[in-house]
Structure 1
Amino acid sequence: MSRNRAARLAPVVEMAERAEREAARMLGRCQGQLTQAEMKLGELERYRSDYQQQWIEEGRRGVSGQWLMNYQRFLSQLESAIGQQTQSVNWHRDNLDKARGAWQQRYARLEGLRKLVQRYLDEARAADDKREQKLLDELVQRLPARDL
């Protein structure tokens, strides 16, 4: 009986395994996208730092008003790009958290199903052992008693 229940759950376990694998793939994709977004943000921040260093060096030599206006305009655009990329990183981080939650949920479901199947198999094995022991006991009782 328990073995039949375990067998009937096999397709459900297979579906849960596929769902867990897909969730794991999605988690990996989200992690990769977050890594790329963080790298791009890092590049923008390094570029800003380099540009600010250039400002310090140029400022020592003296700069024109036009150069200063161009610098401020470009720095403003760069700050805007950094802000947008920071939002992108945050969005990807949230997306990763959601994907991790979905994977954990599917993994927990899969593990629960596996434990249930194992319990059914253990119950079937115990029932088989009990039946076998009962048969052996009956056979021993049927044997003629030997005088020692």
Structure 2
Amino acid sequence: MPASRAARLAPVIDMAERAEREAAKLFGQGQTQVAQAEAKLGELRQYFADYQQQWMAQGSQGVSGQWLMNYQRFLSQLESAIGQQQRSLDWHRNNLDKLREQWQQRRARLDGLRRLVERYLQEARTAADKREQKLLDEFSQRLSSRPKQD
């Protein structure tokens, strides 16, 4: 009986394994997206720093009012892009946390199902051992109750 219970759970375990693999795949994709967003933010910040260095070099030689206005406008746009990329990174990190939690939940469910199947199989082995022992005891008793022939 317990072995058949374990066998009936096989399709459920297959579905749980597929769900866990899919969640792990999505988690991996989320990690990639976070890494890409971090890299892009780093590039924007580096570009901002480089542009500021250019300002220092150019500013020491004197600049026109038009150049200064263009510089400030571009710097503002760059700051805006950095802020937008930071928000994007924050979103991706938050999403990654959700994906991690989903994967962990599916992994825990799969592990629980596997433990349940193992328990059912152990119960089946124990029951089979008891049946076998009972048969051996009965056989032994029959042999001992037979009249001895000389």
What corresponds to 2:17 in structure 1?
A: 17
Deviation at residue 144 of structure 1 after TM alignment: 3.7
What corresponds to 2:70 in structure 1?
A: 70
**Amino acid of the structure 2 residue aligned with 1:120:** Y
**Deviation readout 1:13-37 (Å, 9 max, x if unpaired):** 1001111111111111111111111
**Amino acid of the structure 2 residue aligned with 1:137:** D
Residue 9 of structure 2 aligns to a residue whose secondary structure is: helix
Structure 1: which 4+ aligned runs deviate by more than 3 Å?
A: none
Residue 67 of structure 1 aligns to a residue whose secondary structure is: helix
What corresponds to 2:42 in structure 1?
A: 42
Same amino acid, percent of matched pairs: 71
What corresponds to 1:8 in structure 2?
A: 8
Residue 62 of structure 1 aligns to a residue whose secondary structure is: coil
1:135 correspondence with 2:139: no
What corresponds to 2:54 in structure 1?
A: 54
**Amino acid of the structure 2 residue aligned with 1:2:** P
**Amino acid of the structure 1 residue aligned with 2:87:** Q
Inter-partner Cα distance in structure 1 for 2:21 and 2:144: 61
User: TM-score scaled by structure 2?
Assistant: 0.93
The count of residues paired between Structure 1 and Structure 2 equals 146
Inter-partner Cα distance in structure 1 for 2:144 and 2:44: 93
**Amino acid of the structure 2 residue aligned with 1:50:** D
**Deviation readout 1:96-142 (Å, 9 max, x if unpaired):** 11111111111111111110000000000011111111222222223
Inter-partner Cα distance in structure 2 for 1:76 and 1:85: 14
User: TM-score scaled by structure 1?
Assistant: 0.94
What corresponds to 1:82 in structure 2?
A: 82
**Amino acid of the structure 1 residue aligned with 2:93:** R
What corresponds to 1:125 in structure 2?
A: 125
Inter-partner Cα distance in structure 1 for 2:127 and 2:5: 14
RMSD: 1.3
**Amino acid of the structure 2 residue aligned with 1:72:** Q
Deviation at residue 2 of structure 1 after TM alignment: 0.2
What corresponds to 2:31 in structure 1?
A: 31
Inter-partner Cα distance in structure 2 for 1:44 and 1:136: 79
Q: Which runs of 5+ in 2 are unaligned?
A: none
